[in-house]
């Protein structure tokens, strides 16, 4: 059984085996979580991202996939970078967003990570509505077989925290 916990605040302040980055497909940094991860984690992370671009992901990391690097100076062993889908109205396909969570957990299992922290993927610059994104996140983590013992969602603002709380339901 994987425990699911919610915490408020900056994901880069979390201690865990793996921290998930809401990256963009360039893997070369951006705003939001991505900016914070590289700022606090230092240049080692970007150096590995560049190496991944040069080797496996010349065209960028596809939406819904995940790949790990060092966590640099973060209080974690790995950063798992995943690319959420951009919201494009009510007909947007939720499958790539679910895939971000599933693939990140698959990578975490490969690494042997036992504790993993996620942000609310796609709910910032990529505009996915918070309630829907929270439901997809919680349902996907709940239904994905994994050896990860603890999944934590680090939620930046109260609105995100409340949305995830509603999806998690009473303890």
For residue 79, what are the CA distances in angstroms to 21, 48, 67, 129?
Answer: 7, 11, 8, 25
**CA dist., res. 4 & res. 9, Å (int):** 16
Nearer to ligand ADP, 36 or 61 (CB): 36
Look up residue 13 and give its DSSP letter.
Answer: G
17 included as an active-site residue: no
Shortest separation between residue 30's beta carbon and ligand ADP, angstroms? 7
Question: Which C-beta is closer to ligand ADP: that of 14 or that of 144?
Answer: 14
Which residue in the list 10, 17, 34, 109 is annotated as catalytic? 34
Binding residues (CB under 6 A) for ligand ADP: these are: 10-12, 22, 31-34, 36, 84, 119-126, 154, 156-157, 160
CA angle 153, 156, 157 (to 5 degrees): 115
Tokens 């942000």 belong to 119
Residue 1 beta carbon to ligand ADP: minimum distance, rounded to whole angstroms: 25
Task: Compute the distance between CA of residue 160 and CA of residue 32 in angstroms, rounded to an integer.
Answer: 14
CB-nearer residue toward ligand ADP: 15 or 147: 15
Shortest reach from residue 154's CB to ligand ADP, in Å = 5
The set of catalytic residues is 34
């Amino acid at each position: 059984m994987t425990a699911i916990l919610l915490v408020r605040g900056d994901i880069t302040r979390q201690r865990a085996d793996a921290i998930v980055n809401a990256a963009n497909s360039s893997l070369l940094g951006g705003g939001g979580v991505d900016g914070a991860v590289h700022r606090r984690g230092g240049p080692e992370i970007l150096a590995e991202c560049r190496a991944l671009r040069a080797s496996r992901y010349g065209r960028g990391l596809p939406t819904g996939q995940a790949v790990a690097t060092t966590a640099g100076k973060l209080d974690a062993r790995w950063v798992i970078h995943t690319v959420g889908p951009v919201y494009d109205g009510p007909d947007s396909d939720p499958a790539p967003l679910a895939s971000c969570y599933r693939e990140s957990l698959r990578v975490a299992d490969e690494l042997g990570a036992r504790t993993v922290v996620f942000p609310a993927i796609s709910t910032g610059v990529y505009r996915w509505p918070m309630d829907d994104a929270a439901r997809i996140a919680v349902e996907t983590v709940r239904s994905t077989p994994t050896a990860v013992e603890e999944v934590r969602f680090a939620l930046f603002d109260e609105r995100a925290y409340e949305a995830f709380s509603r999806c998690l339901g009473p303890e």
